[in-house]
Amino acid sequence: MLPNFRRFITIYRGYERPFWVSQILLAIATIFTLLIPLMTQQLVDKGLLGGDRNALEQSVLWMVVFAVLSAIFTIANAWYGVLFGEFTAHAVRIKLYEKIQVLSFGNLDRFPTSDLMVRMTSDVNAIKGAIQQIILSLAQAPIMFIGALFLIYLNSPSLMWILLIIIPVVSIVLLFFVNKISKFFEKVQQKLDDLNSVLQEDLAGVRVVKAFVQGEYENRRYDRANREFRKASLLPMQYVSFLQPTLFLIVNIAIACVLWFGGVFAAQGKVTVGEILAFTQYLATILTPLIVLAVITPQITAAEASAERIFQVMDSIPMVSDSPQPLELDPATAKGRIVFENVSFGYFANSSENEEENYSKLVLKNINLVIEPGQTVAFLGATGSGKSTLVNLIPRFYDVTSGRVMIDGVDVRNIPLKTLRQLVGISLQESILFSGKVRENICYGKPEATEDEMIAAAKAADAHSFVSAIPEGYDAAVTRRGANFSGGQRQRLSIARSLTIKPKILIFDDSTSALDMATEARVQEAIKNSMKDSTILFVAQRISTVITADNIFLLEAGEIVAQGNHETLLRTSSLYQEIYESQLGGAPA
Ligand SMILES: Nc1ncnc2c1ncn2[C@@H]1O[C@H](COP(=O)(O)OP(=O)(O)OP(=O)(O)O)[C@@H](O)[C@H]1O
C-alpha cells in the first residue's frame, strides 16, 4: 500500500530522529487523553452520586492535569510535525532540482516546463501536507484504539457489544469513500499540469497573442483547461464533503444507542451512570482516530499520486550520460576535427507504450561528413531540414540513434560530458539571458574569466560597444530573460558567453539571425579572427551567413544533398542556386 509515499518518507533518513521523537510525544499525549474518561467515571460514581467530596475534587484536579499534559505533548508533536514536513519538502525540492540539472535534452522533452513546475511546487506541497497530518495522528490512532478498547473492557464490559456493531459500520463507510476518492487524485494533478501548460505557454508568448489579437482564443483555451481542472477537482472533494458528516452521524447515533441501552442497564443495576458516561467518551475516543484517518486518507491518496509523479522525474535515467570507460581528450591540446559516420537520428515521440515505437521517424538520415580542424563550415537548409538537430549531436545534447559522431577520432559518447562541454561551445538559436549583471551572463560558462578575457569575447561578439555605452557598463543589470536588451543585443551577449570559454569547437545555431547583414558580417569576421584555432560551425537559413565558409553542407529533409564552398555550390547545386536567387536576387554571372 502507498509504495511511493512510503518510499518518499524513507528517503530522508536524516530526519528520522524528529519523526520518532514526534511519535513518542504523540503517544504520551494520547495516554493522557485516555486517562481523562477514567476520571469522569470516578467523578460521577464516587463524587456526584456517592457524595464523596474528596473523590470529586481529586477527579477534577487529575482531569485538568491530564488535559494540560495532553495539550503540552500534542503541541510539541505538532511542532515536530511541521519541522519534519518542511525539512522533507525542502530536501525533495533540492533533489528534484538537482535531478533536473542532470537530465538531458531528450528527458526534458518529455517533461515540459509547466509540468516540472507543478511537480516541484503543488506535488511537493501535497506530500508535505500529508506527512504533517500523518505525524499528527500516526501513533495516536493505534494507541487510542487499543487503549480505549482495553479500558472499556475493564470498566464497562457489558456495553462492549455496541462497539462490535459500530466499528465494522464505520470501517465499511470509510473503505467505500477511500476507494472512490483514490481514483480521482491522479487525474486532478494531470489536469493541473494541462492548466499550467496553457498558462505558461500563453504567458511566455503574451506578446505574440497580443500582436495577433488572439486574446479571445487564448481565453477560450484557458477556460477549457480551467473547466477540465474544476471538473476533476470537484468530484473527489464532493465525496470528501460527505465523509465527515456521515461519520459524525454514525457516532451520534451510536452515542444515542449507548445512552438508551445504558439507561436500561443502569435501571437494572448492571452498569453505573459513571460507566455510561465514560463509555460515551471512550466511544468518541475510539472513533476519533478512525475519523482522522478518514480526513487524512484523501490527502494521503493525493500525496501517493503526487509522490508517484515526483519519482517519475527522480527515477528518469538521463538519456545522455558519461561512458563507464571514458576516454580523456585534453581540451587544451584537442584539434577539433569532427566526423559524422553514417549518423541517423529520430526524436523520442513518447506516445506509445512500446519503447521501440516511441522514436519518431528519422529526422537525420545517414549523415557522413568531415570537418577539418580550424575550418569554418556552415549548414544551410530550409526550416525543419535538421540543421539544429545535426549540430546538437556534437555536444551530445542528444545521442545518435545509429552511427557515430567523433571528435579527433574519439566517439563523443566516450568523452566525459564535462570535457565535451569545454571542447564544444554553442550559441543557441534562442538567446536566453539570466537576471543578474551583464558580466555574469558573459562569464556564465567561465566565472573565473579575467576582465580582459571577458572584454575580448564581448568585442568579438560586437557587444562591447553597446555595453560600454550603458553607464554601468559590464555591471549593468540584466532583467529576467534579458528583457531589457533588444533581440540583436541578446544574441550578441549570448555569442560572447560562448566565446568566453574559448572552446575548440564553436557552434552558432542561427544565433546571428537577429543581426542586420552588415553587423552579422562584422561579428563573423571578428569571431574568426579571435578564434583562429577553433573549428567554427554556423547553422543558418540566410545565405549571407554562409557565403564566406570554407565548406557549406546543404541539408534537405534530414539528408546532406550537396557540399562545397560558395562558388562550387553555385556551379553544382541547383537547390543552392535557387536559395541564392530567392534571397540575394539573380545568380551572379
Ligand atoms: N525536441 C524535438 N522533439 C521532436 N521533434 C523535434 C524536436 N526538435 C526538432 N524536431 C523535429 O525535427 C525536425 C528537424 O528540426 P530542426 O530544428 O533540426 O530543423 P532546423 O533545420 O534546425 O530548422 P530551423 O531552421 O527552423 O531551426 C523537424 O521536423 C522538427 O519538427
Residue whose CA is closest, atom 30 of ligand 1?
384
The Cα-based distances of 404 to 202, 356, 386, 539, 567 in angstroms read 39, 20, 17, 20, 30
User: pLDDT category, 516, cuts 50, 70, 90?
Assistant: confident
Domain ranges of the chain: 3-184+240-314, 338-584
User: What pLDDT digit, counting tens, does each position of 53-96 carry?
Assistant: 888 889 899 999 999 999 999 898 888 888 888 888 888 888 88
Distance in Å, CA 363 to ligand 1 centroid: 8
User: pLDDT category, 525, cuts 50, 70, 90?
Assistant: confident
Q: How far, in Å, CA of 259 to CA of 266, rounded?
A: 10
Residue count of the chain: 589
Residue whose CA is closest, atom 1 of ligand 1?
109
CB 130 within 8 A of CB 302: yes
Residue whose CA is closest, atom 5 of ligand 1?
347
Q: How far, in Å, CA of 412 to CA of 424, rounded?
A: 11
Domain 3-184+240-314, classified CATH 1.25.40.10, yes or no? no
**pLDDT of amino acid 578:** 85
| In the chain, % of residues over pLDDT 70 | 95
User: pLDDT category, 352, cuts 50, 70, 90?
Assistant: very low
Helix, strand or coil, per DSSP, at residue 130: helix
**pLDDT of amino acid 404:** 95
More confident site: 105 or 344: 344
Exposed, middle or buried: residue 341 (CB in 10 Å: 0-12, 13-18, 19+)? middle
Residue whose CA is closest, atom 25 of ligand 1?
383
**In a mutational test of the pocket of ligand 1, which residue from 319, 347, 392 has the highest number of ligand atoms less than 8 Å from its CB?**
347
DSSP designation for 327: -
Architecture of the domain delimited by 338-584: 3-Layer(aba) Sandwich (3.40)
**Which of 7-21, 114-128, 249-263, 373-387 is the least confident region?**
7-21
CB 124 within 8 A of CB 92: yes
User: pLDDT category, 135, cuts 50, 70, 90?
Assistant: confident
C-alpha cell recorded at residue 146: 487499543
Q: How far, in Å, CA of 327 to CA of 307, rounded?
A: 38
Cβ partners under 8 Å of residue 326, min gap 6: 414, 415, 416
Q: What b/e sequence results for 27-52 when a residue is b if at least 16 CB atoms lie within 10 Å of its CB, and e otherwise?
A: bbbbbbbbbbbbbbbbbbbbbeeeeb
Distance in Å, CA 44 to ligand 1 centroid: 82
In the structure, which protein residues have their CB atom closer than 6 angstroms to any atom of ligand 1?
Answer: 109, 347, 360, 363, 381, 383-389, 429, 510, 541
User: pLDDT category, 561, cuts 50, 70, 90?
Assistant: very high
Quick one: which atom of ligand 1 is closest to the CA of 386?
18
More confident site: 402 or 269: 402
Q: How far, in Å, CA of 417 to CA of 181, rounded?
A: 46
**pLDDT of amino acid 589:** 44
Summary mean pLDDT of the chain = 84
User: pLDDT category, 403, cuts 50, 70, 90?
Assistant: very high
Q: How far, in Å, CA of 40 to CA of 62, rounded?
A: 10
**pLDDT of amino acid 66:** 93
Quick one: which atom of ligand 1 is closest to the CA of 390?
18
**pLDDT of amino acid 358:** 54
**pLDDT of amino acid 430:** 78
Neighbours of 370 (CB within 10 A): 14
Quick one: which atom of ligand 1 is closest to the CA of 392?
18
**pLDDT of amino acid 429:** 75
Instruction: Identify which of 262, 298, 257 has the alpha carbon closest to the alpha carbon of residue 278.
Output: 262
Q: How far, in Å, CA of 31 to CA of 24, rounded?
A: 11
Residues 483-491, mean pLDDT to the nearest whole number: 86
Which residues make beta-bridge pairs with 369? 340
Instruction: Identify which of 484, 479, 483, 489 has the alpha carbon closest to the alpha carbon of residue 437.
Output: 479
More confident site: 4 or 15: 4
Quick one: which atom of ligand 1 is closest to the CA of 379?
21
User: What pLDDT digit, counting tens, does each position of 272-296 carry?
Assistant: 888 888 888 888 777 777 777 777 7
Distance in Å, CA 388 to ligand 1 centroid: 7
Compute and round to an integer the Cα radius of gyration of the chain. 35
**pLDDT of amino acid 586:** 54
Helix, strand or coil, per DSSP, at residue 372: coil
More confident site: 190 or 447: 447
More confident site: 563 or 480: 563
DSSP designation for 401: S
Q: Chain-centre distance of CA 496, in angstroms?
A: 31
Residue whose CA is closest, atom 29 of ligand 1?
384
Quick one: which atom of ligand 1 is closest to the CA of 106?
1
Cβ partners under 8 Å of residue 181, min gap 6: 236, 239, 240, 297, 298, 301
More confident site: 507 or 22: 507
Angle at the Cα of 364 from the Cα atoms of 358 and 368, rounded to 5 degrees: 140
**pLDDT of amino acid 527:** 84
More confident site: 479 or 368: 368
**In a mutational test of the pocket of ligand 1, which residue from 108, 109, 379, 388 has the highest number of ligand atoms less than 8 Å from its CB?**
388
Q: Chain-centre distance of CA 169, in angstroms?
A: 41
Distance in Å, CA 390 to ligand 1 centroid: 10
Residue whose CA is closest, atom 14 of ligand 1?
386
CB 228 within 8 A of CB 188: no
Distance in Å, CA 443 to ligand 1 centroid: 29
More confident site: 26 or 353: 26
Residues 535-560, mean pLDDT to the nearest whole number: 88
DSSP designation for 515: S
Question: Is 254 a residue whose pLDDT tops 90?
Answer: no
C-alpha cell recorded at residue 62: 487529575
